[in-house]
A and B are shown apart, each in its own frame.
Chain A
């Protein structure tokens, strides 16, 4: 009995470990395939490791080719930075108003925002295309950035967070003659840092991985995002799967690094946005 109690946790861990390795094997396969030659990728004698690592696959995807991953990174980073930062700023302002300011029409506006939870982006993409096309945003990175600026989820999560902050803080500042902009900037906003970090990581991931919107708006290959670059290599007639895998690896690695660096806030962000609904 005593012995089995000591052995059990190890058995447990080994089984879970094996499941974990199987689970991640597609990603491992992707990384090794990105270093193979075209014939090696689908060779019948299966070998996980490449004979000679073909690092120039990455050089090709990043520089030599018509579509460079370097430029795609630049475009995607641009979209991600402006999509994320402005979204958090706009959401913070609205969340503060909903939580801390008693103004006429608050409930009405809040209800309007709540209702957007039922309207997925996919439903409004056609008119948005017409709209952006009319104002000259076709083939323009801002067409992909702007829709990120309104996020009902961010507003609700931040509102919850602001509601948890004591009103006394605000009253004290008010007595000192501070107005809402000052209270927001000096007192409240700095206190929401943990929530902001969680939301930021989630917003970065969603901007970075976005596909439908760039596919529709960005037709000029110079404006391609990381996702579109992967697609481009897949559609290429030469069917060089090692280049597809190099592109896919390039797309995933920064998100992995971000995730590992911010695992705690990441998991917290998802869990808090999830459990309470």
Chain B
């Protein structure tokens, strides 16, 4: 009996490993190995075009240089600005939309469809559209001038003080659909009895949103903040396409700098060091997520 049991277990082990092997191989080749190679490269000076022989280990020098690198520092600040502007704004808009669409609203499905569409559209295609809308002779300027909000058309993509705005708008535009869908699912889990009780107590729509809905869906809000922060820290396509591949110091992002150093200048060592900084930031956000989940998620 003992023997048959261990034989069975051996069979299970074999089957288990056979089933995970394809995924494991892909994981090792596509994620684990590149990750450690990236870590190694961040301590080297290496121009990709010069070949493996010319790789030089230089310790922490890349990271020291990063501290002095004004452009990377600015990219880091810009990325932070993208994150702290787009995440709260888009989350507030999506919550209001989801709240307005919750329950028996006429045309609910069509409206939901409409608001969701930009999320699934190619960021490159939408970037091309936004780039045109924000041109000096584009519609945004035309409308603002005709409404006498502006005296003169603005150079949205050129002015250092303005050139982040079109990108921020694009990121908000593309993220609303996703956040709204998640909120709509979460709102359905809020028991209607709570709203009924609030109605009896004389609460209006806004009060119900603030005192009933908000606390009940706080885990969803937390989840969305984390997911969106991670997504915005990785922003690349929107910036790349709206700046035609050469972002200015005032609107470049971290991944755009990694791309620039790596695939335009082929400085793989330095670019890997930049990638490691990005990795640490995302790691920190993920750890906050793990820590926060225990406190926030109360179901």
Which residues of A approach B to under 8 Å, CB–CB? 9-10, 12-13, 16-17, 19-20, 23-24, 26-27, 29-30, 33, 41-42, 44, 46, 89-91, 93-94, 96-98, 101-106, 109, 112-113, 116-120, 122-131, 146-147, 149-150, 155, 179-181, 184, 205, 208-209, 211-212, 215-216, 226-227, 230-231, 234-235, 241, 244-245, 247-249, 251-252, 255-256, 259-260, 263, 266-267, 270-271, 274-275, 277
Contacts and interface: CB of A to CB of B under 8 A. Distances in A.
Given A101-B19, A122-B236, A26 B130 contact: yes
A205 B130 contact: no
Contact of B35 (A124, A235, A259): A124
Contacts of B237: 211-212, 227
Contacts of B97: 16, 19
Nearest to A146: B30
Contacts of B262: 125-126, 129
B185 A248 contact: no
A277 B100 contact: no
A101 B16 contact: yes
Given A112-B27, A275-B182, A255 B121 contact: yes
A176 B132 CA distance: 65
Contact of A277 (B181, B240, B263, B293): B293
A171 to B, nearest CB: 13
A130 B30 contact: no
A141 to B, nearest CB: 16
B223 A26 contact: no
Contacts, number: 285
30 contacts: A16-B97, A16-B111, A17-B107, A20-B114, A23-B118, A26-B126, A97-B17, A98-B20, A101-B15, A101-B19, A102-B12, A113-B23, A118-B279, A118-B282, A120-B278, A122-B278, A124-B31, A124-B35, A126-B258, A127-B34, A146-B26, A147-B30, A180-B15, A208-B122, A211-B123, A212-B236, A227-B237, A255-B120, A256-B117, A270-B178
A274 B236 contact: no
A167 B115 CA distance: 40
A181 to B, nearest CB: 8
Interface residues of B, number: 97
Interface in B5-22: 9, 12-17, 19-20, 22
B132 A33 contact: yes
Contact of B38 (A9, A127, A251): A127
B88 interface: no
B126 to A, nearest CB: 7
Given A126-B41, A277-B223, A230 B125 contact: yes
B131 interface: yes
A272 to B, nearest CB: 8
Contact of A251 (B125, B240, B275): B125
B50 to A, nearest CB: 12
B87 interface: no
A126 B38 contact: yes
A147 to B, nearest CB: 5
A86 B182 CA distance: 28
B102 to A, nearest CB: 11
Contact of A27 (B14, B22, B117, B293): B117
B124 A231 contact: yes
Interface string B118-147: 101111111011111101011100100000
A33 B125 CA distance: 13
A227 B185 contact: no
A26 B133 contact: yes
A145 to B, nearest CB: 11
A34 B42 CA distance: 45
Contacts of A130: 37, 48, 268
A231 B184 CA distance: 35
B175 to A, nearest CB: 12
A187 B26 CA distance: 26
Nearest to A270: B181
B173 interface: yes
A16 B101 contact: yes
